[in-house]
């Protein structure tokens, strides 16, 4: 296998940068950049050394930089190969010179994700753990980081191992029956197998349901700010973000398209979406904005329903029906916010469980944020294994189909060979998910999305 190298830190100018080398010739190639007296060859693995790095390609013997070199010997490294990491000053020129020297001395430039791919191929990680590294790098919040770390530590892999063991147990019993098919011996009690399938099916369904939460944590939990025109939706958005993100005007219909921005609250990323005021309108452009508002409501996890605090409860119920009649709201958290509370002189229109605020004056916004934050706790998102990959979701859907076909085959007393084939299909999809069964095309597609140097 070739020895590869790449800059492992972000591109551009910085105080320091790190260059990673991995492969059978990593020690020898790196050693050619340092004088013999630096004794890089004698440096113990897992030790760092301060040394001067030179270009020895001509008589000039040009000093390039003073660096820190760290060695990791196979198999005790990230990739499972010999690895050298060179920490140099962050000059773009210095980084490029070192890369040029490494390539000149026998390295090949690494492809995107090739270091992680080698870690997978060398058994240092399974495929879900390798994919978790990309999620870890891209994590924008504490909860997203927490979910990626749990997957990197093998939580999802552990669940897949249990499912595989149960499916193998079932497959073994069915295969044994096939071996003795002429004697018509039934080794596997059908009731026991159906109970086992029920457990497997429940676990797969739990993981599939978690995909919604996993993608929301990665991209930001969508929060739709909705209501009639001029109730203070854009003012509330600006107040929550603490900056002028949306145009505020007394003219109805100012917001004609969705306006998005993110906000991190107690370690969780939320994606706030200001929408067009919901009303009957003859304006073509405004109607498109209202349609987009309803589309946003359907996709949102949390709805901040803004109303004027001076309106009666009957008027509020009429407003609410415009929203709830057009969406499935069972899985959504609807927070009723009565804005312009500072203009209310009496409490005759008071509605229980509503939050009374003045977005313009910034009054009682903490109550809104507390209600938004409670969404994470109410759904126990931090306590469950989260599916975050579209690839995992597709394969688990395939496994679920095979399990349901197996279940139906057992209930309908299909021939054992047909039932066993469905179990085999579930095992194949499970093997592709964990990486025990994989093709070069699959691996290239997965690791090709990584950054170079990782």
The stretches of 242-387 forming alpha helices (DSSP H) are 284-299, 313-324, 365-378
Superfamily of segment(s) 4-121: Probable tRNA modification gtpase trme; domain 1 (3.30.1360.120)
Intervals of CATH 3.30.1360.120 along the chain: 4-121
Q: 83: buried, middle or exposed (CB in 10 Å: 19+, 13-18, 0-12)?
A: buried
Q: Are strands 221-227 and 302-308 parallel, antiparallel or unpaired?
A: parallel
Any idea which residue has 């170079």 for tokens?
452
Q: What angle do CA 132, 134, 136 make, to 5 degrees?
A: 70
Radius of gyration of the chain (CA): 30
Q: Give domain 155-215+389-435's CATH number out of 3.40.50.1820, 3.40.50.300, 1.20.120.430, 3.30.360.10.
A: 1.20.120.430
Q: In what order do the strands lie in the sheet with 48-55?
A: 48-55, 62-72, 83-89, 16-22, 4-7, 108-109
Among candidate residues 119, 81, 4, the one with its CA nearest the CA of residue 446: 119
The stretches of 105-189 forming alpha helices (DSSP H) are 114-121, 127-138, 142-152, 155-179
3-state secondary structure 237-257: HHHHHCCCCCCCCCCCCCCCC
Whole-number Å distance between alpha carbons of 6 and 263: 34
Structure confidence at residue 331 (pLDDT): 76
For 106, phi and psi rounded to 5 degrees? 125, -5
Say if pTM beats, i.e. exceeds, 0.85.
Answer: no
* 27 Rama sector, left if φ>0, alpha if ψ -120 to 50, beta otherwise: alpha
Structure confidence at residue 191 (pLDDT): 83
Any idea which residue has 């003859």 for tokens?
282
Whole-number Å distance between alpha carbons of 16 and 356: 51
Among candidate residues 28, 34, 218, 54, the one with its CA nearest the CA of residue 107: 28
Whole-number Å distance between alpha carbons of 338 and 323: 16
Q: Tokens for 150, please give them.
A: 């749990």
A 10 A CB-CB count for 41 gives: 12
Intervals of CATH 3.40.50.300 along the chain: 224-376
Whole-number Å distance between alpha carbons of 255 and 273: 11
Intervals of CATH 1.20.120.430 along the chain: 155-215+389-435
The answer to whether residues 78 and 119 touch, using CB atoms and an 8 Å cutoff, is: yes
What is residue 290's three-state secondary structure?
Answer: helix
Number of H helices, E strands in the chain: 14, 12
Residue length of the chain: 454
Listed in sequence order, the residues at least 6 apart from 218 whose beta carbon sits closer than 8 Å to its beta carbon are: 135, 138, 139, 140, 144, 147, 388
Q: Give domain 224-376's CATH number out of 3.40.50.300, 3.40.50.2300, 2.40.50.140, 3.30.540.10.
A: 3.40.50.300
Whole-number Å distance between alpha carbons of 291 and 155: 41
pLDDT tens digits for the chain (454 residues)? 799 999 999 888 889 999 999 999 999 999 999 987 767 777 888 999 999 999 988 777 899 999 999 999 999 999 999 999 999 999 999 999 999 999 999 999 999 999 999 999 999 999 999 999 989 988 888 888 999 999 999 999 999 999 999 998 888 888 777 766 555 555 567 788 888 899 999 999 999 999 988 988 888 999 999 888 888 888 888 888 887 765 554 555 555 457 888 889 998 999 999 887 776 665 667 677 777 877 888 888 999 999 888 887 777 777 777 666 666 666 788 899 988 888 877 666 678 788 998 888 988 999 999 999 998 888 877 778 889 899 999 999 999 999 999 999 988 888 888 888 999 999 999 999 998 877 777 788 888 888 888 8
Q: In what order do the strands lie in the sheet with 333-339?
A: 259-265, 268-274, 221-227, 302-308, 333-339, 355-356
Structure confidence at residue 325 (pLDDT): 66
Structure confidence at residue 16 (pLDDT): 94
Listed in sequence order, the residues at least 6 apart from 405 whose beta carbon sits closer than 8 Å to its beta carbon are: 422
The CA–CA distances, whole Å, from 204 to 197, 402, 419 equal 10, 11, 19
């Amino acid at each position: 296998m070739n020895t590869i190298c790449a800059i492992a830190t972000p591109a551009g100018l910085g105080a320091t940068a790190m260059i990673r080398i991995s492969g059978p010739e990593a020690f020898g190639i790196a050693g050619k950049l340092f004088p013999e007296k630096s004794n890089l060859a004698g440096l113990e693995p897992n030790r760092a050394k301060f040394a001067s790095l030179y270009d020895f390609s001509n008589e000039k013997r040009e000093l390039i930089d003073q660096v820190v070199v760290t060695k990791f010997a196979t198999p005790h490294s990230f990739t499972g190969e010999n690895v050298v990491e060179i920490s140099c000053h962050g000059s773009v020129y210095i980084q490029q010179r070192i890369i040029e020297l490494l390539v000149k001395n026998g390295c090949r430039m690494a492809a995107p994700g090739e270091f992680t791919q080698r870690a997978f191929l060398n058994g240092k990680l399974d495929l879900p753990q390798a994919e978790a590294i990309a999620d870890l790098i891209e994590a924008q919040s504490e909860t997203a980081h927490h979910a990626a770390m749990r997957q990197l530590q093998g939580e999802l892999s552990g669940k897949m191992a249990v499912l595989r063991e149960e499916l193998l147990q079932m497959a073994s019993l069915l295969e044994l029956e096939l071996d003795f098919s002429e004697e018509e011996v039934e080794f596997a009690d059908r009731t026991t197998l159906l109970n086992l399938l029920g457990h497997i099916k429940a676990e797969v369904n739990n993981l599939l349901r978690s995909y919604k939460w996993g993608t929301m944590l990665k991209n930001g939990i969508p929060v739709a700010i909705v209501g009639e025109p001029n109730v203070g939706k854009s003012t509330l958005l600006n107040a929550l973000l603490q900056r002028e993100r949306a145009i505020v005007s007394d003219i109805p219909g100012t917001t004609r398209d969705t306006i998005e921005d993110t906000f991190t609250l107690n370690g969780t990323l939320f994606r706030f979406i200001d929408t067009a005021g919901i009303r009957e309108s003859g304006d073509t452009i405004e109607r498109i904005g209202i349609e987009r508002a309803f589309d946003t409501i359907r996709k949102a996890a949390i709805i901040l329903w803004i109303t004027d605090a001076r309106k009666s409860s009957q008027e509020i119920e009429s407003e609410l029906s415009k929203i709830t009649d057009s969406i499935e709201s069972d899985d959504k958290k609807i927070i009723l916010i009565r804005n312009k509370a500072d203009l209310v002189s009496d409490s005759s229109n008071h509605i229980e469980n509503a939050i009374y605020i003045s977005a313009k004056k910034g009054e009682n916004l903490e109550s809104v944020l507390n209600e938004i934050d409670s969404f994470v706790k109410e759904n126990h998102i931090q306590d469950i294994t989260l599916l975050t990959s579209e690839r995992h979701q597709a394969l688990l859907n395939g496994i679920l189909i095979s399990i349901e076909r197996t279940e139906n085959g057992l209930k309908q007393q299909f021939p054992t060979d047909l039932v066993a084939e469905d179990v085999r299909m579930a095992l194949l999809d499970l093997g592709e998910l964990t990486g025990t069964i994989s093709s070069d095309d699959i691996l290239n597609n997965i690791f090709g999305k990584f950054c170079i140097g990782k």
